[in-house]
Structure 1
Amino acid sequence: MSAEFTLRPAPSEVVRRDWRLPLVAAGVWTAALAGLYGTVTTGTLTALACLALVVAGLRWRRGLTAALATAAFGGMLGAGVTTVHVAARDHAGITALTETETSGEAELVLHTVPKASTRRPEMVTATARLRSFESEDVAVEGNWQVLLVGSGEEWLQVSSGQRITVPAVLREADSGRLTAAIVSARGPPELDGRPALAHRFAAHVRERLATAVDTVPQPEAGLIPALAVGDTSLMDAELAADFRSTGLVHLVVVSGYHLSLVVGAVLAVALALRAGPRARVLAGALAAAAIVVVAGPQPSVLRAAVMAGVTLLALAAGRPRAAMPALATAVLVVVLADPDMAAQAGFALSVAACVGLLLLAFRWAKPLEHRGWPQPVALAVTIPLATQVAVTPLLVGLGTGVSLVSVPVNLLAALVAAPVVMLSVGAAAAAVIWLPAGELVAQLAALPARWLIWLARTGAEIPGAMLPVPGGLWWGLAAAGALAAVIGLARVRALRRPLLAVLVAAGLGMIPACLLTGGPPSGWVVTMCDVGQGDALVLPAGDAVVVVDVGPEPAAVDACLEALEADRIALLVLSHFHIDHTAGIGGVLEGREVVAILAPPPGEAQYGFELVEERAGAVPVLEAVPGEVFEFGQTRLEVLGPPPELLSGTRSDPNNNSVTVRAEVAGTSVLLTGDVELEGQQALLRSGAALDVDVLKVPHHGSSFQVREFLEAADPAVALVGVGKGNEYGHPDPGPLAILEEEGALVFRTDEEGRITVVRNENRFEVTTGG
């Protein structure tokens, strides 16, 4: 007797082949992202259109139609939930207050710990919920998501979950987010009650860890809290920039890597103690919850926590592990719980890295294993490569550049990554229980941390380590298409070796290009470096250069000076001491000769002044005096401002008392204005100084604080705007740019063009951008 039967695939294989959850997640994410840029009406129409597609899909349940209907179901959910949030964001009462920039008293509950801005360390930012706002004429109550911006050390003492009252101005927020307003604090916060227990616990852990690392030398002491709980407040700004440029930033942002290590270690201990399935799940869940509470609701943390939760539930139910459905579930839960996550770059990069890990890394490791490589070694090679491939289109689209050293640096970092993260987390846990134990573990963590620091600094110093690429949606899609084509061609056996040879040849060909290219072009007049939301300009000065302002980060201005092959600074001009003009000073001073610094009195900007004073060392600091002249070869500088009697009582005295310089570079005139605003520009007009120039550095990043007569008096052929992409200040304002264009000026912006270099050939100006 015989019987015929069909072998069914294992349950785990069935789960891995089921793409319904990823399709629903993709639909939710897409609809939520679209809804954030829309209105209640457009969101409702999107939900209805998706519903129609779902109904149509019920009639044809196969092929592309079924897949489209599945994604549409997610779109219906995403659009519906996002529309509800958008309705609250666009509430008429809060919108009217932001449009008029109303002043009053705000009552808020902090959602995250106030952190110093990476661009302007004297300022702190935090996300919060605005519960009420009261001015002389109107009062509103609600529960709006807002961005809080303040200044002063007292903000760094406030923990998340704290209810505060503060005098503030409400300003319009950028589109595409659920942020209803920017709350600009106009004084210190008044604390109201105590935070919840979970927030107090997180603050206690951070405080004890900060105390424990006091026994460790810098920069290791600043790196350990970042590795443990994502607290970068103690981390050196230059080192943080190196971690970003070399692709090691995922180690200092708590992510799935951290959760997998900690939860895995807890489960291993529970298993060794012969704990049952429920006890193991409970222990893992408590470990994951503790990390989320201490690290805060960062996008990567939330995504990883939900994935860990799904995995633990599967473990408790005795079901096979399914990574891709777990990732899809994480996206579903996180975006539906907070649609604002759909627009956060950190969340997108985190998910993309996971997709690369799941779809590419293990697949690419198999051929290496077949050739005798141990699996851990094979995965150590393929994981950084796969994740870099997955995130590259997003990095291109965001315009952040692509690190050419990320893969080898991460490969070498893997030697100590797991031990140093576990030791850092262990230092935090031990410090909470007994501080001397935390200090001892922190000292142990410092040993492998030095390897990471050396890798980051060495990788960042390699010429051409960061490849500047054009940003934007279409460039991101083009990068995705190119990478998909390369991966597809690599699957064809006959093309695999020729393709590998071409890629290796291209990589080797870039080495001399990175090492040999650089230096200013012939006829160079001025270069505006791309330093984000800040200013840094370079002018020729014989066998040296003149640098005017240094931007907010050392790495950015250092890279610009490297590209110009500037080793000697004849004069460093600091227009004023705000951080977006001074915090990058380390990138100018390190490895270069600086003859002198020219600056105004510090005024209110004491933080920047102290920073410069500390880093300048023996370099003489000269006070700017109107009428003073400096000459270097064919370059002549004349100081026009600040006035002898400094301006006071203005909207921003440091801005209006900026050092203003008129430069003549081989017959070409350049006006460098710092951040002078209305009063400063009017003082320059009254001074009778020659303001008409060929090239104008537009004051204050092109803000709205401009005097039309000043811009008309300058009447430049080329206008340069130093501004960061997506900055929170709304710079540049369209009004001043329109005035300049009306007068016939060509306007160039660093947020759109990157580094800008002006060259003069006889009577003709040439402007090159990018880099």
Structure 2
Amino acid sequence: MSAEFHLRPAPSEVVRRDRRLPLAAAGVWAAGLAVLYGTAAIGAALAAVCLALALAGSRWRRGLGAAAATVAFGGMLGAGVTAVHVAARDHPELAAMTAAEAHGEAELVLQSVPKASSRRPDLVTASARLRSFTTDGATLEGNWKVLLVASGEEWAETTAGQRLAVPAVLREADAGRLTAAIVSARGPPEPEGPPSLPYRFADHVRERLSAAVAVVPQPEAGLIPALAVGDTSMMDAETAADFKATGLVHLVVVSGYHLSLIVGAVLAVATACRAGPRARVLAGAVAAGAIVVVAGPQPSVLRAAVMAGMTLLALAAGRPRAAMPALATAVLVLVLADPDMAAQAGFALSVAACVGLLLLAFRWAKPLEHRGWPQAVALAVTIPMATQVAVTPLLVGLGSGVSLVSVPVNLLAALVAAPVVVLSVGAAAAAAVWVPAGEVAAQLAAVPTRWLIWLARTGAEVPGAMLPLPGGVWWGLGSGAALAVLIWSLHSRRLRRPVFAVLAAAAVGAVPACLWTGGAPSGWVVTMCDVGQGDALVLPAGEDVVVVDVGPDPALVDACLDDLGVERIALLVLSHFHIDHTAGIGGAMEGREVGAVLAPPPGEARYGYDLVEEAAGAVPVLAAVPGEVFAFGATRLEVLAPPPEPLSGTRSDPNNNSVALRAEVAGTSVLLTGDVELEGQRALLAGGAALDVDVLKVPHHGSAFQVRELLEAADPAVALVGVGAGNEYGHPDPGPLAVLEERGALVFRTDEDGRITVVRNGDRFEVMTGA
């Protein structure tokens, strides 16, 4: 008697060999992203080209031809669907209104809870759908995706899903997204009925959780809602900056990690209750749906939800889990459902982290398991390494910097990450039913939360914890290529040991570099820190320093001051109270003594003023008076502006009333101009002060609002521009830079050069760039 057995490849082998879904998803994503920057006609043409390529390659069953045909098929789908959305976005009547900045009455449906803007926290922003806009007696109706920008305390009472009317101005939105317009509110909202049931449920859970965590002290109370449902509104700025600097920010963004924990816990309970496959699938689907509703339609949440749905379907069908096809399906479905996903950095980072987990983490864990490591321990080590490698090119390309402490901090955070997330979600669920039960759960969640806060704070205090790198596409691609070569070298048996030796030597050498880093170079005159779209400058002042502006990010200015070895700030000058000059004050004052703060009147920028007032505490705040002189060692500062009678009625009164200083640092002159625009610059020219200097801080990040005569009067040898890569303001404008370069100035800008330090050696200037 004989029998034949046909060996069937393991499911993991099938997953690895069948690349059709990932290739199709890549085609959908790439085509969708391309069409978002174009028009509907371009999308239709691209879809036709992709269809032709797919048909031409259909005769290939394998190899590069088949792969190209699969990508082209995905491109056809992505281009065709996105073209339809772009046609709706570019509605001619709406486009005419945005170009004319029409004033009228907007009827909106909020899609997200209004939150403080990251650029200007005195404003709130929310995604919304514009249902109608009435201007000059004419009404345009539709259903367009828009960005709402508003100010006022009354917006705190609105919530997602709410229909409202508001007087507003329509403005053009940034290119490359499906956002059809920016709706700038010009008055309080008028609600028109309650939100739908899912939005009311989400609001109920958030409110009850906020009440429950009130029994827990800060910063734990602010972190628990973030861990549970991604609500970071209660987190203090210092904790948020620490989580960002140490790579723990993924814990406060609801993602696949959260859904896998919660759905897994629900399935475990259902299994323990002897529920059947259908009941388990239903329980898991309800849990995943509840998380999505409460957390909101964030990119990471939607991607994780679709993946969870695929997994539950596989469970219901009795088939093994296929993670990579599930991820590819999530990308394909989400980009086709909402092509705007293709341009969202959060979605790209989420997908990249999953790819690193699936392709690298498990493979890297195998050698450790063969050496006797328990699988859980091996994965705890390789998962943070793999995800960090996967997201690094994107972080570099986005100009976000790279955390050098992310891997060890995440490794230590893994000790409590799972229980703290489960306990935090449990607190939200319990509070939704009965607040006292939620209070007990919140107190339990606060215990492991303290470990995360200590880890983030300690990691952020390590000198050089955040490595600032120049941003942009080419830097991102270069870092990706370098990491690919490194990984290939580690997989090569002949190269593995030498590469490991080099990496080990670099790690050992980095320890004293981190411990003993700091201190500015000899003969330095001024340093412009790279803080993104904002200003932060440091001048020597004897044993101390003078800091002029602190940028928008506490972590970035703190890292810059750490690297310069700053322990005491003799004078902290705030040119004005816009957020890109003041929001980093917590980082500048962290662990440092500050002698005094010099600032102008707050004017309209009340949010920045309140932020500074809270952070300054007992530190005296001095009013800037023209003609006043401050001396610190070999450094002398003279206040040139604002004028005694503040300027009013200008394009931006806070900008034009910036504090402007002329500094003399050991014989080198520096003109620090804040964000003065046309009226403020003319006032400086009319003031009669000596404006010719060696180093000029170009006004207002090099914007187009420059008076040529001021640039010519300054006639600097070196000009510094503090500006963020890819900023939406078009800074710096090429016109003013051309004027400076024509007169022989060397122009340096932080978006291209990173941190900039000007050093004087005798009669010669040297400019050091990068970190």
TM range (shorter): over 0.9
Equivalent position of 2:231 in the other structure: 231
Say if 2:530 is the partner of 1:530: yes
Distance 1:207 1:361, change over 3 A: same
The answer as to whether partners of 1:227 and 1:251 remain within 8 angstroms in 2 is yes
Equivalent position of 2:85 in the other structure: 85
Greater alpha carbon shift after TM alignment, 180-189 vs 3-12: 3-12
How far apart are 1:438 and its partner, in Å? 0.7
Equivalent position of 1:749 in the other structure: 749
| 1:435 partner amino acid | V
How far apart are 1:2 and its partner, in Å? 4.7
The aligned runs of 1:584-595 (5 Å cut-off) are 584-595=584-595
The answer as to whether partners of 2:122 and 2:606 remain within 8 angstroms in 1 is no
Equivalent position of 1:512 in the other structure: 512
Equivalent position of 1:296 in the other structure: 296
User: In the aligned structure 2, how far is the partner of 1:491 from the partner of 1:385?
Assistant: 15
Is the partner of 1:161 in helix, strand or coil?
coil
User: In the aligned structure 2, how far is the partner of 1:432 from the partner of 1:85?
Assistant: 38
TM-score normalised to the size of structure 1? 0.96
CA deviations over 1:687-729 (Å, ceiling 9, x no partner): 2333333322233333344344444443433332222333344
The answer as to whether partners of 2:11 and 2:322 remain within 8 angstroms in 1 is no
The aligned runs of 1:82-481 (5 Å cut-off) are 82-136=82-136, 140-481=140-481
The answer as to whether partners of 2:108 and 2:131 remain within 8 angstroms in 1 is yes
Distance 1:714 1:181, change over 3 A: farther
The answer as to whether partners of 1:639 and 1:662 remain within 8 angstroms in 2 is yes
Say if 2:29 is the partner of 1:29: yes
CA deviations over 1:102-123 (Å, ceiling 9, x no partner): 4433332222111112343222
The answer as to whether partners of 2:397 and 2:472 remain within 8 angstroms in 1 is yes
Equivalent position of 2:561 in the other structure: 561
Distance 1:156 1:765, change over 3 A: farther
User: In the aligned structure 1, how far is the partner of 2:624 from the partner of 2:169?
Assistant: 34
User: In the aligned structure 1, how far is the partner of 2:191 from the partner of 2:693?
Assistant: 51
How far apart are 1:222 and its partner, in Å? 0.7
| 1:347 partner amino acid | F
TM-score normalised to the size of structure 2? 0.96
Distance 1:701 1:182, change over 3 A: farther
Distance 1:554 1:743, change over 3 A: same
How far apart are 1:434 and its partner, in Å? 0.4
Distance 1:711 1:100, change over 3 A: farther
The answer as to whether partners of 2:470 and 2:751 remain within 8 angstroms in 1 is no
Greater alpha carbon shift after TM alignment, 379-388 vs 606-615: 606-615
User: In the aligned structure 2, how far is the partner of 1:95 from the partner of 1:655?
Assistant: 30
Greater alpha carbon shift after TM alignment, 557-566 vs 117-126: 117-126
User: In the aligned structure 1, how far is the partner of 2:716 from the partner of 2:495?
Assistant: 55
| 1:389 partner amino acid | V
How far apart are 1:388 and its partner, in Å? 1.4
How far apart are 1:4 and its partner, in Å? 5.2
Equivalent position of 1:653 in the other structure: 653
Is the partner of 2:451 in helix, strand or coil?
helix
User: In the aligned structure 1, how far is the partner of 2:512 from the partner of 2:721?
Assistant: 32
The answer as to whether partners of 2:11 and 2:320 remain within 8 angstroms in 1 is yes
Equivalent position of 2:700 in the other structure: 700
Distance 1:38 1:746, change over 3 A: farther
How far apart are 1:758 and its partner, in Å? 2.1
Equivalent position of 2:498 in the other structure: 498
How far apart are 1:10 and its partner, in Å? 4.5
| 2:24 partner amino acid | V
Is the partner of 1:259 in helix, strand or coil?
helix
Q: How many residues align?
A: 771
User: In the aligned structure 2, how far is the partner of 1:439 from the partner of 1:575?
Assistant: 44
Greater alpha carbon shift after TM alignment, 17-26 vs 528-537: 528-537
User: In the aligned structure 2, how far is the partner of 1:732 from the partner of 1:93?
Assistant: 32
Distance 1:313 1:6, change over 3 A: closer
| 1:766 partner amino acid | E
Distance 1:108 1:720, change over 3 A: farther
User: In the aligned structure 2, how far is the partner of 1:353 from the partner of 1:369?
Assistant: 22
Equivalent position of 2:604 in the other structure: 604
Say if 2:65 is the partner of 1:65: yes
Greater alpha carbon shift after TM alignment, 309-318 vs 157-166: 157-166
CA deviations over 1:482-530 (Å, ceiling 9, x no partner): 3223322333334433332222112212223333343222332211112
User: In the aligned structure 2, how far is the partner of 1:97 from the partner of 1:636?
Assistant: 52
Greater alpha carbon shift after TM alignment, 411-420 vs 719-728: 719-728
CA deviations over 1:279-309 (Å, ceiling 9, x no partner): 1111111111111111111111010000001
User: In the aligned structure 1, how far is the partner of 2:667 from the partner of 2:132?
Assistant: 58
How far apart are 1:57 and its partner, in Å? 1.5
Is the partner of 1:414 in helix, strand or coil?
helix
Greater alpha carbon shift after TM alignment, 395-404 vs 637-646: 395-404
Is the partner of 2:247 in helix, strand or coil?
coil
User: In the aligned structure 2, how far is the partner of 1:470 from the partner of 1:600?
Assistant: 32
CA deviations over 1:71-95 (Å, ceiling 9, x no partner): 1110111111111222222333333
User: In the aligned structure 1, how far is the partner of 2:591 from the partner of 2:11?
Assistant: 61
CA deviations over 1:444-464 (Å, ceiling 9, x no partner): 111100000011111111112
CA deviations over 1:623-644 (Å, ceiling 9, x no partner): 1111111122222211111111
Is the partner of 1:87 in helix, strand or coil?
helix
Say if 2:673 is the partner of 1:683: no
How far apart are 1:319 and its partner, in Å? 2.2
User: In the aligned structure 2, how far is the partner of 1:150 from the partner of 1:195?
Assistant: 20
The answer as to whether partners of 2:471 and 2:725 remain within 8 angstroms in 1 is no
CA deviations over 1:150-193 (Å, ceiling 9, x no partner): 22332232211222333333333222222222233333323222
How far apart are 1:137 and its partner, in Å? 8.5
Equivalent position of 2:625 in the other structure: 625
User: In the aligned structure 1, how far is the partner of 2:488 from the partner of 2:603?
Assistant: 61
User: In the aligned structure 2, how far is the partner of 1:711 from the partner of 1:135?
Assistant: 43
CA deviations over 1:380-438 (Å, ceiling 9, x no partner): 11111111122122222222222221111111101000010011101111111000111
Distance 1:299 1:8, change over 3 A: same
The answer as to whether partners of 1:741 and 1:747 remain within 8 angstroms in 2 is yes
| 2:759 partner amino acid | V
CA deviations over 1:592-635 (Å, ceiling 9, x no partner): 22212111222333332233222223322211111111122222
The answer as to whether partners of 1:205 and 1:428 remain within 8 angstroms in 2 is yes
| 2:537 partner amino acid | L
How far apart are 1:664 and its partner, in Å? 1.9
| 2:484 partner amino acid | A
The answer as to whether partners of 1:545 and 1:569 remain within 8 angstroms in 2 is yes
The answer as to whether partners of 1:570 and 1:595 remain within 8 angstroms in 2 is yes
User: In the aligned structure 2, how far is the partner of 1:632 from the partner of 1:137?
Assistant: 63
The answer as to whether partners of 2:692 and 2:713 remain within 8 angstroms in 1 is yes
Percent identity between the aligned chains?
A: 81
| 1:433 partner amino acid | V
Say if 2:483 is the partner of 1:483: yes
Distance 1:11 1:518, change over 3 A: closer
The answer as to whether partners of 1:16 and 1:322 remain within 8 angstroms in 2 is no
| 1:727 partner amino acid | N
How far apart are 1:5 and its partner, in Å? 5.1
Stretches of structure 1 that go unaligned for 5 or more consecutive residues are none
Distance 1:678 1:107, change over 3 A: farther
Equivalent position of 2:725 in the other structure: 725
How far apart are 1:213 and its partner, in Å? 0.9
Is the partner of 2:57 in helix, strand or coil?
helix
Is the partner of 1:696 in helix, strand or coil?
strand
Is the partner of 1:440 in helix, strand or coil?
helix
The answer as to whether partners of 1:353 and 1:390 remain within 8 angstroms in 2 is yes
